[in-house]
């Protein structure tokens, strides 16, 4: 791969812009020598305005999604891409969320540019269960566990019943719900079917990977191979 293509794929600019940046001296090696378009040292040695380059494909991130951000890149309001370096939205291949969260749902969101990994994690066969912590408007009534685990619960407007879901009461108005699938507004609609209303919803784990305690809302980090193994563990 040529230097221009590498930097354009990492989102540093269009090929034209990257060409201009290289010509302006923004791209050097680790000894500070300005690189030309025809140079191509090892990726680890390339610097953009003195900084190491972003990770190459395949890249997977863990993001602690705050309230009020949508998972869609072309939403006119605030999106999860606003929480990442601007150039991440221009990478090729692109970074996509692995299972979206609603605008007002918080917590664990994985993003990847690896299509195979994305499908592997969301495919029911991988058994990467998703656990949500829900805060409810009214006290639990005691029938929720049977309803959610029945395998017969049909959400409004749907033709296929939900797969059995796990339920664990945390307090009178809090519960953990474990899903094998990801339908639109699923947890909120499940509680609506149970006669309640979700006031706060947070995803806390995917497979064996938990939202890291040291990752504040709005923060993200690159997933390590150990983190990825934990998802399937
Ligand atoms: N269920 C919901 O209702 N919303 C989410 O964001 C995820 C699961």
Q: Identify the structural domains of the chain with CATH numbers, from first to last.
A: 3-52 (3.10.290.10), 60-124+209-231 (3.30.70.580), 129-206 (3.30.70.1560)
Q: What is the pLDDT of residues 192-204, one digit of tens each?
A: 999 999 999 999 9
DSSP H helix total and E strand total for the chain: 6, 12
Q: What is the mean pLDDT of the chain?
A: 96
Centre of ligand 1 to C-alpha 51, Å, is 38
Q: Which of 233, 232, 221 is nearest to 109 (CA)?
A: 221
Q: Which atom of ligand 1 is nearest to the CA of 182?
A: 8
Query: Which whole number is the average pLDDT over 167-177?
Result: 98
User: Which pLDDT value is given to residue 105?
Assistant: 98
Of residues 102, 104, 200, 227, which has the active-site annotation? Answer: 102
| SS3 (DSSP) at 188 | helix
Question: How many angstroms from the chain centroid is the CA of residue 167?
Answer: 24
Q: What Cα–Cα distance (Å) separates residue 151 from each residue in 78, 99, 113, 232? A: 36, 22, 33, 24
Ligand 1 pocket, CB under 6 A: 101-102, 105, 132, 185-188, 201
Atom of ligand 1 nearest to the CA of 190: 3
Q: Is the pLDDT of residue 83 over 80?
A: yes
pLDDT in tens, 33-59: 999 999 999 999 999 999 999 999 999
**pLDDT for res 132:** 98
Q: How far is CA 125 from CA 119, 128, 232, in A?
A: 10, 8, 11
Residues with Cβ within 8 Å of residue 89, at least 6 apart in sequence = 11, 73, 81, 95
pLDDT of 69 strictly over 90: yes
Q: How far apart are CA 7 and CA 22, in angstroms?
A: 10
The conformation of residue 164, written as its DSSP 8-state character, comes to: P
Evaluate whether 140 touches 148 at the Cβ level (below 8 Å). Answer: no
Helix (H) or strand (E) holding 52: strand 51-52
φ/ψ region of 55 (left if φ > 0, alpha if ψ in -120 to 50, else beta) reads: beta
| Atom 7, ligand 1: residue with shortest CA distance | 101
Q: Read off the pTM.
A: 0.94
Residue 223: is it exposed, middle or buried by C-beta count within 10 angstroms (0-12/13-18/19+)? buried
Task: Determine which helix (DSSP H) or strand (DSSP E) holds 175, and give its type and residue range.
Answer: strand 174-179
Residue recorded with tokens 């307090």: 171
If one residue of 107, 186, 202 were mutated to test the ligand 1 pocket, choosing by the most ligand atoms within 8 A of its CB, it would be 186
Question: Is 102 annotated as catalytic?
Answer: yes
What pLDDT was estimated at residue 73?
87
Q: Which atom of ligand 1 is nearest to the CA of 179?
A: 8
pLDDT in tens, 100-143: 999 999 999 999 999 999 999 998 888 999 999 999 999 999 99
Q: Give residue 50 CA to ligand 1 midpoint distance, Å.
A: 41
């Amino acid at each position: 791969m040529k230097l221009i293509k590498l930097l354009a794929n990492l989102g540093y600019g269009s090929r034209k812009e990257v060409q201009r940046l290289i010509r302006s001296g923004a791209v050097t090696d680790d000894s500070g020598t300005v690189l030309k378009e025809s140079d191509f040292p090892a990726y680890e040695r390339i610097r953009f305005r003195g900084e190491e380059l972003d990770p190459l494909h395949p890249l997977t991130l863990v993001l602690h999604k705050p309230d009020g951000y949508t998972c869609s890149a072309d939403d006119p309001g605030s999106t999860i891409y606003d929480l990442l370096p601007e150039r991440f939205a221009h990478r090729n291949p692109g970074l996509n969320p692995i299972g979206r969260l609603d605008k007002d749902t918080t917590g664990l969101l994985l993003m990847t540019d690896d299509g195979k990994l994305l499908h592997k994690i969301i495919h029911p066969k991988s058994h990467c269960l998703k656990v949500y912590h829900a805060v409810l408007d009214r006290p639990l009534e005691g029938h929720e566990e049977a309803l959610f685990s029945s395998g017969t619960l049909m959400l409004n407007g749907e033709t296929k019943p939900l797969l059995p879901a796990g339920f664990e009461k945390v307090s009178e108005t809090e519960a953990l719900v474990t899903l094998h699938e990801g339908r639109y507004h699923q947890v909120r609609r499940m509680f609506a079917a149970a006669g309640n209303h979700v006031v706060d919803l947070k995803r806390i784990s995917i497979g064996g990977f938990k939202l890291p305690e040291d990752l504040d809302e709005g923060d993200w980090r690159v997933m390590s191979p150990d983190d990825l193994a934990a998802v399937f563990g």
